[in-house]
A = this chain, B = another copy of it.
Amino acid sequence: MQEHSAKTAFSVGDLARASQCKVETVRYYEKIGLMPTPQRTEGGHRIYNQPELKRLIFIRRSRDLGFSVSQVRDLLRFVDEPNHTCGEVKTLTLAQSEEVQRKIDDLQRLHKALLEMADRCKGENYSLEQCPIIDALFEDQNEQ
């Protein structure tokens, strides 16, 4: 099968497993141009190598982090086009990082709100009439 050295050829299924997504998703990314068109076996099956595996994992994690596909495309441009000038890369990277920071701030506010609400909850023995989460969400915006 394979020798003792690290595996270097992967099927589309291998990539899907490693990146926790569906095989169809890998093909979809190829269709929309996030993943490169891979080599094929004689029979037409896709073959990938380590760089494509890394790339897919990067895409998946970026998506999980709330980047849209077009934002992932922008991030990948850093990788795909190394002929940017240094200042260009730096500017784009810093802009991206600001957006990331905004996201972190938003999520932290959200997290705080969720925990605060949960904390005010009395627990299993109390009826919904006294549930602060429901109350907080039902509160009229103008009465505050």
User: What is A's interface to B at a CB cutoff of 8 Å?
Assistant: 18, 51, 54-55, 57-58, 61-62, 64-66, 75, 78-79, 82-90, 93-94, 96-97, 100-101, 103-104, 106-108, 110-111, 113-115, 117-118, 121-134, 137-138, 140-141
Contacts and interface: CB of A to CB of B under 8 A. Distances in A.
27 contacts: A54-B129, A61-B106, A61-B137, A65-B106, A66-B107, A78-B128, A78-B131, A79-B138, A82-B125, A85-B125, A85-B127, A86-B121, A86-B123, A86-B126, A87-B121, A87-B125, A89-B117, A89-B128, A89-B133, A89-B134, A90-B118, A90-B131, A97-B118, A100-B107, A101-B111, A104-B107, A107-B107
Given A121-B90, A123-B90, A79 B131 contact: yes
B86 A130 contact: yes
A128 to B, nearest CB: 5
Contacts of A114: 65, 93-94, 96-97, 100
Dominant SS among interface residues on chain A? helix
Contact of A124 (B65, B87, B100): B87
